[in-house]
Structure 1
Amino acid sequence: MAQEISHIKVGEVAVPVVFEKDTTLPIASVQIVVQNAGSMEDKEHEGIAKFLAAMLGEGTKETGATAFAEELEFRAISLDAHAGVETLVFEVSSLKEQFPYALEMLGKLVKSPNFSKESFEKIKLLTLGMLSNKESDFDYIANLNLQKLIFKETPFAHPYSGEVKSIKALKLKDVEAFYKERVSLQNLIIVAGGDIELEELKTMLLPVLNEFKHGHIKAMPYFDANKDAKEQIVYKESEQAYIYFGAPFYMKSGDSEAYKAKVASFILGESGFGSRLMEEVRVKRGLAYSSYSRSSIGKSHSSFTGHLQTKNENLEEAKKIVAQEIKRFVEQGATQEELDQAKRFLLGSEPLRNETLSQRLSRAFFEYYNGYEQGHSKQQLEKIEKLTLPELNAFIKKHDEITALSFSVVTKREKH
């Protein structure tokens, strides 16, 4: 059954609902997506959105974490919250027979999260422990420093989990204020599906939505990556050099040429074996086990990024090859064989990306959230099928901003 878009009226507010009925299994699920409540809203409290999501996993103030979790577990109900870059999401799923109770528990969580001193200190301790472990995660360090380079002085320059300093400085009142300011009825989108009727779902959801406070819709800002090529090297006792690279990619969500970007990105570095970067870096020169790149086009930011690992002594050569290959790709474009191969994969693997209810709802939400009409993804594939090599290469040549590479490296200091 196709997805449908409708609304639930909560007073004067019409909350959008992305829905698909699926009777394959006797289960139902709901995601309540809160826009403008993700990590890009952290501002002076780095890591607060993810911290809040963790605190929402601590049950209600009245019940406490353990008793709340036991109530859910006894009925095989999954209920949690997680924060992304732009959104905060409440997610609940259960057997159909337990679904009314699952939504009742969700309503209680929304109304009275466990913002107790004990829960706050527990999450702070766990977060600091996780951040301490990240100090020896060289991929994490290289990637974080790349974000700081290419998104300097923007919300994306800070780690989504925060840093030790910001988490230590965080106070319970900050988390409560963030929840109160960001989690509001006007910013909600519902994504739901399963063995349930839409009207029945709306009736069951209404008491939950009534627990959300009213607020204001906030316009989402947009940020491009930094075009001034820079480099940062961090020295660690590492057996390998971790190389992360990035550049601007001047496209926004909704761009009519996004399907060309998908094909170009696949050919250059997103397809694994057979991609340009993998071929040049691993197959021809044996410099790395793997090498990837991707273009990211979002509502709030866009960029071109990639990464590889190599022996410390091969660091400079690997960086040089990556920069050369990206420059060559922009100047000379793709081959007909590469275009044909990309089409075969992207068109042939489409059924696999549309198999489960979760996949279909995710796609329908993506289309709605980005302002597309339903069926947009299918239209993109039809455009990919008709794409010619001259059209693709004209697009690639136009986006020479991806050659303005910044490098973030973690490597071992040379002994002299």
Structure 2
Amino acid sequence: MPGGQVSSPPEHVGLASIAAAVQRAGGSRAHPADQMDERLEDLAASLEASAGQQSTTFDFQCMTGDTREVLGLLGELLQQPALPRDKLSLVQAQVTNIISHRDDNASGVARRELYKLLYGQDSIYARTPTLSGVASLTPADLAAHIAAWQRPDGAILGLVGDFSSSDMMSTVKEVLGSWSPAAGQPAAPLARPHEDLPDLPSVLAAAAAAADAGNQQQQQQQASQVVYLVDRPDAKQASVYTGEPGISLSDPDCYALDVLASTLNGFGGTLFDELRTRQGLAYSVAANWDSPVDHRGLFVAAAETVQPAKFIQELSGVLASVRVEPPTQQALDKARAGLLNSFVFNFASSYSQLQRTLVYQLLGLPQDFLFTYRDRVEAVTAQQVVDAAARHLHPQQQVVVVVGDAAVFGPQLTEAGFEVQALRPAPAE
């Protein structure tokens, strides 16, 4: 069903995931938590719920002969969730623990802050839950969210197994036929929220203002690249994330950029060979384009290093080179083969095929998209790769976040010619 994390309100970021967790853990009015779990265990069946960024998913697996009963339990969760207070309290405690420790991982901090700088502090694609927002949730909040987003006219159901399709369709109608939108809901489902990502100059200006409004004019006048430094005292190495606005899946360059990413990453990739093998600047390094369906994604490169200034410079050099130097035929063939070899995993199981079918339907993609993607990747040329890189890569203008010991890495970055700006992540309260 559409919704997911982007549908959570600003005051309750994370509501979609919490609602799905409590909905499943709490059982239904007819089968409260323990009864539902015991019955599923007796049937050797599973029934799970989760919320991704743009959708909420329920899935079950069971013996074919038990489908009617398990489908009925799913129907109860959707139409009459119990949402007990004790289960909400348990999930709140778990999420609170995660939030309290979210800054323990320097790489996670760098990624989070980069997304906030690129998308905007309050963007639905960069928001993070707060302790107060999670603590203030009530069962009524969960029920309202479920009523608004979980409705049959916005849902897509798929089943795969050893059964007659016509018989199964009759079963679905009998078991779920009474499911209707909750009372008081609009006639049509809510549209999935989305936002437009600004172009690079606007992103840079907003990032500068978010980091330090008082120095915005000075930053804009500087010719040097700005690095946003998050102090992590006594850290022995720095986490570096750099990025810029990217593309959506509808961009015709997405195929060439995926091939380019394949030439950059992994053993034998340009980044690995240059920044790890030849220069020893990072144990691992990666760069990729995220290409969402309904909005522009990001280009992001990341690594852990004890020489962040030199790493950023050398990374910029590699990215600048791919803007003007087409990949060799050998590199191109290897990159395309790597992407195409992964094609088979889309058909590795009936579940993966079903999941892909539902996702495409939910997001409005044609069902032959995967085959079209394969054909377009096979047709990518070296010139298309370099042309796409020239259009979408701007290494000297990218937003850079470094998380590390400011006393150690700050002078290193300044001496290398970067304009260093202190960045203080928002507290978790």
Give the TM-score range, shorter chain.
Answer: 0.7 to 0.9
Task: Show the counterpart of 1:157.
Answer: 126
The equivalent of 1:208 in structure 2 is 176
> Is there any run of 5+ residues in structure 2 with no aligned partner, and where?
208-226, 412-429
Q: How many residues align?
A: 375
Structure 1 position 403, deviation (Å): 5.8
Distance in 1 (CA, whole Å) between partners of 2:54 and 2:276 is: 35
| Secondary structure of the structure 2 residue equivalent to 1:261 | helix
Counterpart Cα distance in 1 of 2:398 and 2:34: 49
The correspondence for 2:299, drawn from 293, 300, 304, is 304
Larger strand proportion of the pair: 1
Q: Distance in 2 between matches of 1:225 and 1:286?
A: 36
Query: Aligned residue for 2:414?
Result: none
State the partner residue of 2:19.
Answer: 52
- Decide whether the 8 Å contact of 1:149 with 1:226 is kept in 2: no
Q: Does residue 321 of the first structure (1) align with residue 318 of the second (2)?
A: no
User: What amino acid is aligned across from residue 237 of structure 2 in structure 1?
Assistant: Q
Give the match for residue 193 of structure 1.
160
Does the CA-based 8 Å contact 1:61-1:116 persist in structure 2?
no
* TM-score normalised by length of structure 2: 0.81
Instruction: Tell me the secondary structure at the aligned position of residue 319 of structure 1.
Output: helix
Identity %: 21
- Local SS of the residue matching 1:331: coil
Match of 2:105 in 1: 137
1:224 correspondence with 2:197 = yes
The CA distance in 2 between the partners of 1:401 and 1:186, in whole Å, is: 43
Query: Any residues of structure 2 matched to 1:16-165 within 5 Å, and which?
Result: 34-35=1-2, 37-44=3-10, 45-58=12-25, 59-152=27-120, 153-159=122-128, 162-165=129-132
Partner of 1:258: 254
Q: Which stretch of structure 1 is more off in the superposition, 193-202 or 90-99?
A: 193-202
Query: Does the aligned pair in 2 maintain the 1:282–1:288 contact within 8 Å?
Result: yes
Please name the residue that 1:409 is paired with: 402
Distance 1:248 1:290 in 2: 23
How far residue 363 of structure 1 moved from its aligned partner, in angstroms, is: 3.0
Counterpart of 2:53, as a letter, is V
Q: Is the 8 A contact 2:49 2:59 kept in 1?
A: yes
> Structure 1 residues 403, 73: CA separation in 2 closer, same or farther (over 3 Å shift)?
farther
- Residue equivalent to 1:352: 345
Q: CA deviation at 1:267?
A: 1.7
Q: Which residue of 1 aligns with 2:268?
A: 274
Whole-Å Cα distance in 2 between the matches of residues 336 and 78 of structure 1? 48
In structure 2, give the amino acid aligned to 1:223.
Answer: D
Determine the C-alpha separation between the residues in 2 that align with 1:241 and 1:316.
10
Residue in 1 that maps onto 2:148: 181
Unaligned runs of 5+ in 1: 1-33
RMSD between aligned residues: 2.3
Amino acid in structure 1 at the alignment position of 2:84: S
Whether 1:392 aligns to 2:385 is yes
Q: Structure 1's 52 and 387: CA in aligned 2 closer, same or farther, altered over 3 A? A: same
TM-score, normalised with respect to structure 1:
0.83
Structure 1 stretches of 4+ moved >6 Å: none
Partner of 1:292: 286
Higher helix residue share: 2
